[in-house]
Amino acid sequence: MQLIRLFQSLLGISAFGLTLLSNSVNALAQPNENNGNHTNLSQCGKLPSQIPKPSKNFPKSRDPWLHPFNSCSIWNMPIGANAQYVPARLVRAIYFGADREYFYKLKGGDPMRQVLSPGNFEPGRCTGTQSMQLSLPFPDNLIVPDATSQPYSTPNNAAAFLMPDGKTIEQVEPLARCTAGGDIHGWRNPWGGVDIKGDGIKGTHFGSGLSAIGGSIRRSELTGKDPIRHALKILIWGNKYLHYSQSIPGYRWPADRADQYAETEYKGTNPKLVQGSLLAIPPDVKIESLGLKTEPAKKIFQALQNYGAYIVDDAAWDAHYLSVEQGVSEEFRARYGYDFEGSSGAFYDDMMKLFSALNIIDNNRADNIGGGGRLRAPLAPQFRHD
């Protein structure tokens, strides 16, 4: 949630620590193994028979830090021609914003600092004392501010750390480090570290249980010339849109949970719109028909049509959010001369059009990621040699 929530209510935290809000779903993605720098597609389960051939401009390899997880990960699988589209009926929100996420490549030579629980989701995040059974090599001068009451700001601050082994990603939320050289605060991913070349599902978006780093818009992706070649992450207002019932408890695969308050606070009437739903713009919607005015919105349109976006958290008020790496908003402002976030302006208008065009991919499953059929884009390339 981006605005107001009780932290213990969200995560199911007691005096004894983190408790899972629900049992994991049975349908999990196929385990992945990697053979050197090549994704072993035999570990991906059944792949579509028709995969487009990469163009000459398609990258031959990728940096796993900038484009993580295997080619058949939920974050990398393109939408298929057999996708079943169901209208999401998202309407114009008061505000469009950035759900900022923090990513760090850690170096073994930096001082080891322990990770402790946050004292609160609201101001006081750096007062927690419960050990997360994790220490990280962390530069002493790196500060991540506390939440604030004036102005009121309680960002999720989902965070991912690539460990010095170059393979393991640790995740926490909400990240805070209030003083130089001090302890790090944030609830740890309860499954521990994940493989940067694995399926990338589990993580610290605790409203859904999904990854802190998969699906995030990275620096230069909105300002560079290349298209975005992965799925995105979005947050919408649970009280207005997300559904809860005894038979559909607020989530679907690949999410393994909803917010603990889902039973009382999720008021959406569409049973297909829940945490973990994959949304995309249907193929018959042409970019010209939306009348988009801004270049970055046109780039986001292509990503939403080719890869879609997963719902990972509750916006907690009448706002739509995209998950982005910390620094993207500032880079965006410097490049385009207007703000990424806001409640008016051409880019805001464009983003409202994009959200309103989204449909739910109803047949997205562990054995049918993206809906199946001929893919709208080639699979992600192999990992590069270091």
Digit-coded pLDDT (tens) for 30-76: 333 333 333 345 456 667 668 888 999 999 999 999 999 999 999 99
Burial class (CB in 10 A: 0-12, 13-18, 19+), 100: buried
pLDDT at 50: 82
Residues 107 and 191 in one domain: yes
CA end-to-end span of the chain: 37
Digit-coded pLDDT (tens) for 303-359: 999 999 999 999 999 999 999 999 999 999 999 999 999 999 999 999 999 999 999
Residues 143 and 259 in one domain: no
DSSP string spanning 147-195?
PEETTEE-----EEEE-TTSSEEEEEEEEEB-STT--EEEEEPTT--EE
Rounded Cα gap, residues 190 and 205, in angstroms: 12
Please enumerate in sequence order all residues whose Cβ is within 8 A of that of 6, keeping only pairs 6 or more positions apart, or say none.
121, 261
Token pair recorded at residue 179? 């003083």
What is the pTM (predicted TM-score) of this model?
0.90
Q: In terms of residue numbers, what domain contains 11?
A: 7-23+101-210
How many CB atoms sit inside 10 A of residue 96's CB?
A: 25
- Is the pLDDT at 174 greater than 60, yes or no? yes
Pick from 247, 227, 360: nearest CA to 298: 227
DSSP string spanning 28-43?
-PPP--EETTEE-GGG
Residues 46 and 165 in one domain: no
How many CB atoms sit inside 10 A of residue 136's CB?
A: 19
Residues 326 and 187 in one domain: no
Residues 80 and 146 in one domain: no
Percent composition of the chain: helix, strand, coil (DSSP 3-state, to 5) = 15, 25, 60
Token pair recorded at residue 250? 């607020």
Residues 243 and 315 in one domain: yes
pLDDT at 46: 67
Residues 137 and 199 in one domain: yes
Residue that terminates a domain, selected from 187, 210, 233: 210
Residue 384 placed within a domain: no
Residue that terminates a domain, selected from 145, 179, 210: 210
Please enumerate in sequence order all residues whose Cβ is within 8 A of that of 134, keeping only pairs 6 or more positions apart, or say none.
114, 115, 170, 188
Token pair recorded at residue 208? 């859904």
Rounded Cα gap, residues 173 and 238, in angstroms: 19
How many domains is the chain built from? Answer: 2
- Helix (H) / strand (E) element for 96: namely strand 95-105
Determine the average pLDDT of the residues in 82-100. 98
pLDDT at 43: 52
Residues 360 and 282 in one domain: yes
Q: Are 269 and 242 in contact (CB under 8 A)?
A: no
Residues 242 and 307 in one domain: yes
Residues 328 and 277 in one domain: yes
Residue that terminates a domain, selected from 169, 191, 210: 210
pLDDT at 385: 78
Distances (CA, A) of 91 to 55, 95, 116, 269, 336: 36, 11, 39, 14, 26
Digit-coded pLDDT (tens) for 93-142: 999 999 999 999 999 999 999 999 999 999 999 999 999 999 999 999 99
Between residues 126 and 385, the one the model is more confident about: 126
Distances (CA, A) of 47 to 53, 71, 78, 92, 365: 15, 11, 11, 36, 12
